[in-house]
Structure 1
Amino acid sequence: MKNTQVILAGRPVGVPGPEHFAIREVDVPDLAERQALIRVSHWSVDPAMRGWANDVPNYSPPVALGDPMRSFAVGEVVASRHPDYAEGDVVEGLMGWQTHVVSDGSNIGRKVTETDLPRSYALGIMGLNGTTAYFGLLESCAAKPGETVVVSTAAGAVGSAVGQIARVIGCRTVGIAGGAEKVRQSREEFGYDAAIDYKSDDVASAVATACPDGVDCYFDNTCGPISDAVMTRLAVGARITICGTAAITEWDPLPVGPRVHRQLLVARARMQGFLIFDYKDRLHEARTALADWLREGKISVREHILDGPEAALDSIGMLYRGENTGKLIVKVE
């Protein structure tokens, strides 16, 4: 049996492209005691993978050259000598871009129990993206009913979930997205009360119009000029959650933008970095709520699914160019 892997073949500076990856096939080893064989069906493509591929200071070490690209993946146990996993179990975890995984359980995050929902949801709304939106909005931003929540990359996998969760709890929502189609998605599919096109609108003026009483919560997936504009409209007591830095393509030298100290001072605002790994002991709480909202039709999901390992080579670049029209996933089974 062969395992097809997409490996990191070269070290990028910034967003990795096809030239930084290679496809190889290796034999699947025999199972030892306390190991399970997983046939992977879907790979996730996430903004964090840019940082994992680069050799820069980060919250986790870079992927080693020659190793399968680190990513979340979902698949089915097809053979097992592990007491915790049986044939037929669907599992999700940080298993990388490969079609078969021999696991001792250390890289398995969980068994997927919501089998009435599409399996791919385990990598998006029921996985890293949805749980990030849930805790980033409700815990870090501490959004409350009646407040105005502004979200950058509003049509993305995290942003679209943030906007919909905010709407469920009774917030007014303003999304910032790139291009007319993503603005349409933000309004019509994800229910934002207002949507701003950062490619054609004057963002600062548009935020001022959409948020006449100021911004209570800003869920920041971009940093850069979009965030600079939002910072000028903070309400007293505003909370800012920094979840992503999509607008910054290189970290050396570190980018220097407008100083936000004065805005934070005058608004008595709070800015906080957010990583979902800090909430690993509470993920079940988020998944239970998200699954209920999905079944009740309160949250909608859009996926952009690519076919086959070759499609993964430029998928991170595709994500950063904004070419995806939903949660980006590679289907490999």
Structure 2
Amino acid sequence: MKKVIQIPTIKDDDIGYEHLLQVAGNIFEDPYNYFDFDFSRCAMLDHSAVVMLGALARYVDYHNSQMKVSKAMFFKREHADIAGVMFLVSSMNSAVRERLIGNNFLSHFSSGTLEGYPTGGYLGYREHNYLLDADKIADHLQNEWLSAAKLRLSDKLKPAITSRILEIFSNAYGHGVSIQDMKTMGVYSCGQFKKNERSLNISVLDFGPGIIKNVKSVYGEMPSLDAMHWALVKGNSTRTDSRHADIPRGLGLDLLHNFVHVNGGELRIYSNDVKVISSKTSGLKVEANAADLRGTLVSIKINCDDRYYSFTSESKPKQQQYF
């Protein structure tokens, strides 16, 4: 059976994330189908939408590959029909199409040749397999995403921010990929630099059990908001500080939380039925989310202004911002 999924305009804002989770919910309901992703009503897609659409395509691929194996075994056939996702490039406007080419997204899903795919280091869509290559990810974050041309950070602060973002990947692997049923699915990310807004973004997504379910699996039933508050506590960030070897690690986001407040950026987390929004204007908000995400999505926005950022303990050149 074929289903057409209308992809709306999805920006990096509250409404955009609501649309995004609605699209994900449509796929989660029944992934054993052919899906056509139609972009005729989509004016633009931000990084969070790109990473989600790519991961959903792999989610459908995984479930239907399992169905293919089951059918082949049942009918004793070597081949069985499977479903999947088709991105209708012809339905995209030029802005959407150019973005999905420029961030290397379509190269992962197109058998044809489209000009303009970036090579080497680039900010865009990436699929990380189910084994964590920490050195490769750290190099990409520090030298390509947080390049000096985009943001001025001290020699101490830059690796500290890199390590906190790397911990997001580590959490996605350690308490997402490694314990999920879908063993062949990895972690998905998408970086983006908006030149007109001078903002730097990255989204990291996994379809593991999710933060809330992980915490509850160890501590038992509790309100979902309490489970998320536990995960956000500084110090709940390693397995060794817990009485159980497999305790869900906290998110270790204290430095990122402080930095986006000083910088005027934003940090978002969507996991299971809870969302977290952290910014200078909103403060830290932990709220129930109407849509249930089967996994965890973390999105970070940093403003690329002319200020120089460092720790308060460092020397103090002019035009410096401390925290």
Larger RCO (alpha carbons 8 Å, 6+ apart): 1
TM-score, normalised to structure 1's length?
A: 0.26
TM-score, normalised to structure 2's length?
A: 0.27
Q: Which is helix-richer, 1 or 2? A: 2
